Structure 1
Amino acid sequence: MRTSNWRRTGVTCAAVALTAAAMTGVATAADDTEAPQAPVVSSQEYPDDSNEHDGTGSYGTFVIDSASDDVVSYRYEWMGGSQQTLTAAEPGAAVSLRWLPQTRGVTYLSAQALDAAGNVSASTTYFVRVKAGRAAVSHWDPQSNSGSGTDTGTGVTLDAQGPTGTDITSAARFDGTDEAYVTLDSAVDTAKIFSVGAWVRPDALDSDMTAVSQAGFSLGAATNSTTGAPTWSFALPTEGGGTARVTGGSPEVGEWAHLVGVYDAEQHTARFYVDGDLVGTAENTVATGGTGTLRLGAGSDTTTAHWHGLLTQVNVWDRVFVPDEITAAATRTPQRQGYWDLETAPGGRSPEFAGGDPLTLVGDASIYTGTDDCDVNPDCTPALYPMVGSGNLLLDGDGDYATTPDAVRPSDAGFSVTAHVRLDEDTATHDMTVLSQPGEHTDLFTLRYVAASRSWEAVVAHADSAGAPTTTVSAPVAPFGWGQDEFLAVVYDERADQLRLYVDYDYAADTASVTGKDTWTPTGDLQVGRSVTADGGTDYLAGEIDEVHTYAGVLDQTRLAMLRAGGTDV
């Protein structure tokens, strides 16, 4: 038998057992070939039953124990994870591990026991069913503006708009004065595990500002001690009177950002996320924390660092808000402004997919549909078929174009435009415009073909003025020859401060920084196949255009791949 009455009675009994084995001639550990008994796994927080248990972002303890008295270690692994080893404090002792579930659903822990001779037990599989993470224990938004102990200063107005591309419809405006505050009771002890998140939009960045604070943390904008530039900040007072401060990102006036600070008291770490991205971690952090009032718009001393800007969707959790949750909370979905499939043009007007303003065809512009009789005539000339669907916009380069008053209107997140284009080598001898969006004095953007370099080029102006600064990105035309469908996309990403040009499968073909530069709202009509200039138009395109999409916000690579393949977002 591998078990005995001496199990877990300490070193003395183990020594007695070893002496007895020597006196009776029982085999030593080196001669032991019998596998120990499979371990038993148990957990108070996450029992193996048919129920879901709390929850994503909340730690649980798992005890692994074999009945065999010579087990010295345990191998374990979580579903899909790598194998790990825990060593017992003494032969036959149980081990325990702490685990933080990152997602809701069913997973399992697999464990085996190992004895001193290296024998390995059969595997035990322990199933864990995890609930979604607990809701925030403190929540504030302008629509409710309520809760235990809520008090709102006169420097706060509750009628602003929330960030576009989210389901958040309202925000509060804080005017940066002593009266710009909201306070409410908080049930979170910030000396323990907690997370805090908020959507913030500064209207000024000339001083440090606190968006959310409580005894134990502050979340807001600060000045980079090295560069002097503004940065986002998550700060916690620590034992010994110090401060752990994690910073990152580049705040911009008038631009929304999603901030999340996470303090893990078990790991002694503070992590900071800006717009869903981890920007910094402070290790070996022991926060002093505390309980008390949650304050929006000012620091705990209430006299300095007043928030000047918009604020909404403030949440404080008594658990770890995990990365997937943070990404989801920070996601801004692009809003389609127009989609013209260019399949038909009754009366010279090609309909917009959702009933918006159509594209009006001008000059000899027409919708081309490829037809031939090759199925019955062996001497036929095969037609060149449309790039997507059954029709293309056909332009001859001599005054043909299409236009619509559905302009590209950037949100504070940016804008995106896409189109399929096909050029003929014989006509691609001069510069030609695919798409342009004029304002009063210049174009917000121009997407064009440049003949001298045989390249695609996107130019964005940063103000509606004749001499406005511009940013340009470019990429070569397809290397496999003319007469091919090329998918082009221009993406202006305010969060990443990037202008990106995508060409077919090249994601991104070229990228340029637009840090500190702005977009603006144009007033002119979107132009398809030309640029508008003082003399009425230039750079007319000779070729075909199909599937024009315009968006407020940023198209990600998944949506771009879908549009490149001819799909839609509906």
Structure 2
Amino acid sequence: MDPTTTPALYYIDTDTTIGVLDTTNGETKLDPNAATTDHVNLTNAGYAALTNAYLGPHDTWALTDGTLDPTFPLAEDTAPNAINPYVNHPTDTTGQNPALLAGTTTWTTDATHGEALTLDGTTGYAATTGAALTTTNSFTVSAWVKLTTTPTRNATIAGQDGTTTSGFFLQYNYTHANAPGWALNIPTSDGSSFATAYAAGATTAWTHLVGVYNATTHTAQLYVNGTLTGTATNVTTSDATGPFTIGRGLFNATPTDFLPGTISNVQAWQYALTPTQITALYQQIS
């Protein structure tokens, strides 16, 4: 980024964004998920990956912080603001919300996702010191999650504390009227009834979840493994100004819904991502 120009200039490393390393020769080649048959034009997901790089997340908790030190107590926020024209420089808090670990948490190495954070489902979670998102505006939250067991109660992957209730719950929802499953649960006001975007069923395999709230259309959407699975309409949100939480929610002013499982790469955007942007996330075009 060069903030001295008018307008400011931003530079994106497209090779890194849509390229993968060819281990046979050490060169960068086009990610297969971004390549069309002519290998010249990009897929829609490939173009969306460039958008994700340009209009980047407000916060990224990769949850790889225990690689060198298994006792490291923080999940660092690595979202870059120098290449993100969507944020308000220089006072924006993009990339400045580390999450402190609490309770029983373990840095673990997974065969699929590498270093990740495993939580015990009883006390373990991570939380920032203050709000990461403005929940009355549009926002998107994504995460990879692998349940240790199928819970017999609600289990929250990500949320943001309000006064008595989280402003949203990206979670495994055990109490849904139809059947347990993945959900984006949003209280219409702090401590009130919920609007729910929902998908029946859940597995203990790695799953990519994305919850989207659009403040313009007043809709909430849930994507599971890149596919839209549930939509709630006429949704309004409360102004939750407390910590952003990973691995638990807040209900009746009490921390609750602790997640039994492993979480990787939690990200938060202060706008509603499009379907193709979400496809790029699921396909891990980076």
TM-score interval, smaller chain: 0.5 to 0.7
Which of residues 144, 152, 169 in structure 2 aligns to 1:420?
144
Tell me what 1:544 maps to.
262
Tell me what 2:12 maps to.
none
- The CA RMSD measured in Å over matched residues stands at 2.6
Matched ranges for 1:192-211 at <5 A: none
Tell me what 1:490 maps to.
211
1:530 has 2:256 as partner: no
Query: SS of 1:560's equivalent?
Result: helix
Which of residues 507, 510, 514 in structure 1 aligns to 2:230?
510
Q: 1:350 to 1:553 in 2, by over 3 A?
A: same
Distance, in Å, in 2 between the alignment partners of 1:394 and 1:488 is: 17
Matched ranges for 1:232-381 at <5 A: 336-345=57-66, 347-354=72-79, 355-370=95-110
Distance, in Å, in 2 between the alignment partners of 1:519 and 1:402 is: 23
Deviations 1:249-273 (A, max 9, x none): xxxxxxxxxxxxxxxxxxxxxxxxx
Shift of the alpha carbon at 1:402? Answer: 0.9
Distance, in Å, in 2 between the alignment partners of 1:412 and 1:540 is: 25
Distance, in Å, in 2 between the alignment partners of 1:457 and 1:466 is: 18
Distance, in Å, in 2 between the alignment partners of 1:547 and 1:402 is: 13
Q: Which amino acid aligns with 1:499?
A: A
Tell me what 1:298 maps to.
none
Distance, in Å, in 1 between the alignment partners of 2:250 and 2:135 is: 23
Distance, in Å, in 2 between the alignment partners of 1:475 and 1:410 is: 25
Q: 1:535 to 1:518 in 2, by over 3 A?
A: closer
1:402 has 2:123 as partner: no
Shift of the alpha carbon at 1:534? Answer: 4.3
1:456 has 2:178 as partner: no
Q: 1:398 to 1:414 in 2, by over 3 A?
A: same
Work out whether residues 164 and 250 of structure 2, in 8 Å CA contact, stay in contact via their aligned partners in 1.
Answer: no
Higher strand share: 1
TM-score, normalised via structure 1 length: 0.35
Q: 1:395 to 1:476 in 2, by over 3 A?
A: same
1:553 has 2:277 as partner: no
Which of residues 370, 373, 393 in structure 1 aligns to 2:117?
393
Shift of the alpha carbon at 1:428? Answer: 2.4
Deviations 1:509-536 (A, max 9, x none): 011112xx54343211011111123463
Deviations 1:405-438 (A, max 9, x none): 353423775111011111134x523321111211
Query: SS of 2:146's equivalent?
Result: strand
Distance, in Å, in 2 between the alignment partners of 1:429 and 1:460 is: 21
Q: 1:397 to 1:428 in 2, by over 3 A?
A: same
Tell me what 1:434 maps to.
157
Distance, in Å, in 1 between the alignment partners of 2:160 and 2:209 is: 16
Deviations 1:344-372 (A, max 9, x none): 145311211134221211122122114xx
Query: SS of 2:164's equivalent?
Result: coil
Distance, in Å, in 1 between the alignment partners of 2:165 and 2:101 is: 23
Ranges in structure 1 where 5+ consecutive residues have no aligned partner: 1-166, 168-330, 371-384
Work out whether residues 164 and 251 of structure 2, in 8 Å CA contact, stay in contact via their aligned partners in 1.
Answer: no
Ranges in structure 2 where 5+ consecutive residues have no aligned partner: 1-7, 9-50, 80-94
Deviations 1:252-307 (A, max 9, x none): xxxxxxxxxxxxxxxxxxxxxxxxxxxxxxxxxxxxxxxxxxxxxxxxxxxxxxxx
Distance, in Å, in 2 between the alignment partners of 1:450 and 1:519 is: 19
Q: 1:350 to 1:510 in 2, by over 3 A?
A: same
Work out whether residues 397 and 540 of structure 1, in 8 Å CA contact, stay in contact via their aligned partners in 2.
Answer: yes
Q: 1:456 to 1:443 in 2, by over 3 A?
A: same
Q: 1:393 to 1:518 in 2, by over 3 A?
A: same
In the alignment of these two chains, the number of paired residues is 213
Work out whether residues 160 and 167 of structure 2, in 8 Å CA contact, stay in contact via their aligned partners in 1.
Answer: yes
Distance, in Å, in 2 between the alignment partners of 1:542 and 1:401 is: 10
Distance, in Å, in 1 between the alignment partners of 2:58 and 2:272 is: 12
Work out whether residues 105 and 124 of structure 2, in 8 Å CA contact, stay in contact via their aligned partners in 1.
Answer: yes
Q: 1:483 to 1:459 in 2, by over 3 A?
A: closer
Deviations 1:177-234 (A, max 9, x none): xxxxxxxxxxxxxxxxxxxxxxxxxxxxxxxxxxxxxxxxxxxxxxxxxxxxxxxxxx
Distance, in Å, in 2 between the alignment partners of 1:353 and 1:404 is: 13
Tell me what 1:221 maps to.
none
Distance, in Å, in 2 between the alignment partners of 1:525 and 1:433 is: 14
In terms of Rg, which structure is larger?
Answer: 1
